[in-house]
Chain A
Amino acid sequence: MQHGKYRFIVGFLAAPLALYALFVIWPFIQSIYYSLTDWSGLSPEFGFVGFDNYSRMLDDEIFWKSLQHSLTLAVVLPLVTVGLALFFAFMLNVGGRRRRGAAIAGVRGSAFYKIVYFFPQVLSIAIVALLFQFAYNPNSGAINSALKLVGLGSIQPDWLGDPDLALICVMAVLVWSTVGFFVVLFSAGMASIPRDFYEAALLDGASRFTTFFKITLPLLWDTVQSGWIYMGILALGAESFAVVQIMTVGPNGGGPDYSTVVLPLYVYQKAFRDGQAAYATTIGVALLLVTLAFAAVVMKLGRRERLEF
């Protein structure tokens, strides 16, 4: 049995590992290297400057602002999205009144709602951002028009033009566009929870509230945790960049008075607008650390005993 097992394993793993190293690990190492240079991104020549970029970053007010916004997104977005999705999924699968003899059922029309929730997932994030940009238009946008329609014409916020509201507006769009995915994910998870658990709970006279916290959530914990990390990384990375870049004020986005600038956007601006590619990679390294720290914290906080059923 044992004979040749190492050769077997090496043979199996060499190719994928090489690919992984080339396309995942190596770019990381490369960008760490570039962050120690003064590369502009516009010419092949550059010099080695040591940790200059890092000390500059620590003094950079806008870096701190974007870090703060990215962290806000990473904390608030998963909390709101996953929370909402859990609520919706529970109502769609378990929360309905008993009817037609079925012990466990969703609310009336749940199949339809599931499609409605999932619908934004089909749209590209760029289209979603554009749509909402029009909706947020303070002059003729859907939201202010709706306010006027219901007699709230005196409340006409500038939405994306107001530094106090801009980041919230951006977050609302991200929640809207991702919550459906998690509803479907959690629905699938709930479907695999044995029905007898619920039936037993019902027989004992448990309320919906108790059922959710004592049965659904503990049994769904693994899925919730993956969803949580996935959403956090989404909030730290590509999705937040796209929404901020397309929707918010400024030459390349970033909001009035830097109110929505996030780390990936700042990387983009430094690399492709200001011709400071080396500094951009420095911020990229910071983003990498933040993302790793986020995943580590969530894993640590979320560690629970695994339930078998």
Chain B
Amino acid sequence: MGSTSAQTNEGLGRRDLIKRSAAIGLISVPTMGFLSACASGSGDGNAKVEKGTKSDKNPLGVNESAPLDFVLFDGGFGQQYAKDAIKVYETNYPKAKVKFTPTQKITTELQPRFNGGNPPDLIDNSGAEQMDMGVLVGQKQLTDLTALLDAASVDDPNKKVRDTLRPGIIEMGQFDGAPVWVLYYAYTVYGVWYSQKLLDSLDAKYPETWDEMLAVCEKAKKKGIAGWTYAGKHPYYLPFSLYPMIGKVGGREVLDAIDNLEPKAWEHPAVKACFEAYYELYRKGYILKGTPGLDHIQSQTAWTEGKALFIPNGSWVENEAAKTMPADFDLAVSAPSGLDASDKMPFGTMWASGGEPFIVPAKAANPEGGMEQLRIMLSEASSKNFTQSVKSLSAFNGGTDGIELTPGLKSGVAALEKAGQNVVNPRLQDWYVALQKEKIGVAGIGEMMAGRATPAETIKKIQKFADEAAQDSSIKHYKHQ
């Protein structure tokens, strides 16, 4: 048999061999198809555990011996607070066994389980790999948590869980209509963060109007300090102070219109005025050099080193930047500065809302157990434990008495008090993740703040993104009620 030639008549040539084996391949493909067709798309799902009997101590009717499967995002808040709450669950239900899985790979670990129809009973769906909540709701994959909210609270049997929560928490968990699909456990204060000590050393007060803001930045610039820095690689941090400013200048309706993806929502004069105000920071050179190329950690580090005065951020920054923050930094947060006295809302208007979304999947085997675990976490004791160990407020209203608050947390509580009813809660970032982070954030505001687009161009671009999202039938749309 010739080794390279197909011309010889005796023996099977290489070319023949290839042709014939290709034919076999073609036949075997459909055959294999039959075999593996059975393998995909046949999630039989979990068998639900039987319900237990309701009692005063067990208002949700948890099956006392059923196992609980709890998956937690192991991020900025760590896992100890959840472990502590699990201990309480296991004390209350000694026959139950809790399977606890802390992970940072929420989607990687849970997407197959959702697809297979056997998701865990309780999930902290958070972090960079968060599953899109809008999609989960739209696909009917979540349990309505109304039963939990109507159950008696751990601390006071005459008080329902829903009456112990901070304002806005329940609304955030609703997508359209009454059911509550998500319970946000942490309570995040967004705003402009700074070192009180550095501000004092400039002999300045936190600016309430934009003219004062520019004056403070000018003062800082003379001392070689930049006015602002931000997570340039994740410019969707800028809205943490920009959106409440828009709300303050133009009123809540402007933010609601933006969230509802209304046509021309971004063309409102308040949006334009605020964009121009921020652009002014770039134009006057008040932004730390190189900021567009920094990520959140790098920009926070530059800021804790005193290279920049202000940074838009959320209350997790105290925990996250703890390593590089000098002991006498005197961290403080303030509501964003407005434009001038003609603003629709008073100074103090700020963005605060729930963080760390907890969900109970619709196909969970033990949904009552998942809710019961949440009920325990929403007790005063667990909430205090959380606040104390991770320097963040929880959804439980109050629970800060008698514990010593860190400077940032204390400043956050004071800012919340000052805000009173003037707390705004823009929803783009949980309703339309891609639109908010990538399109408005990176491609829109990020480009503008790097000086590569004017405010007018940016608004036009963002309005186009919003219109596209409004028309995109593959996205589920939500509206403020």
Contacts and interface: CB of A to CB of B under 8 A. Distances in A.
A160 interface: yes
B347 interface: no
Interface stretch (A23-31, A92-100, A183-191, A236-244): A23-31
B29 A43 contact: no
In terms of DSSP, what is the predominant structure of the interface of chain B?
A: helix
B41 to A, nearest CB: 6
Contacts of A163: 447, 452
A222 interface: no
A148 to B, nearest CB: 12
Interface in B253-312: 288-290, 292-294, 298, 302
A251 B442 contact: yes
Contact of B11 (A1, A138, A139): A1
A251 B234 contact: yes
**Contact residue range for chain A?**
35 or more
B233 A162 contact: no
B434 interface: yes
A21 B132 contact: no
Interface stretch (B17-25, B389-397, B416-424): B17-25
B143 interface: no
B434 A256 contact: no
A119 interface: no
Contacts of A161: 232-233, 290, 292-294, 450
A42 B115 contact: yes
A10 B272 CA distance: 72
Given A20-B25, A44-B41, A139-B293, A26 B36 contact: yes
A198 interface: no
A258 interface: yes
A21 B293 contact: no
B233 A44 contact: no
A190 B144 CA distance: 69
B43 A42 contact: no
Contact of B474 (A56, A156, A159, A258): A56
Contact of B116 (A29, A44, A45, A279): A44
A136 B111 CA distance: 34
A275 B135 contact: yes
Interface string B419-462: 00000000000000110011001110011001010000000000
Contact of A42 (B135, B288, B293, B298): B135
Contact of A44 (B20, B117, B442): B117
A22 interface: yes
B42 to A, nearest CB: 8
B38 interface: no
A257 to B, nearest CB: 5
16 contacts: A9-B12, A18-B28, A22-B36, A26-B32, A40-B138, A42-B114, A43-B140, A44-B117, A138-B292, A138-B294, A139-B298, A249-B232, A251-B236, A251-B437, A272-B111, A279-B474
Interface of A: 1-2, 5, 9-10, 13-14, 17-18, 20-22, 25-26, 29-30, 38, 40-45, 56, 136-139, 144, 156, 158-163, 248-252, 254, 256-258, 269, 272-276, 279
Interface of B: 10-12, 17, 20-21, 24-25, 28-29, 32-33, 35-36, 40-41, 43, 107-108, 111, 114-117, 128-129, 131-132, 135-136, 138-141, 232-234, 236, 288-290, 292-294, 298, 302, 433-434, 437-438, 441-443, 446-447, 450, 452, 474
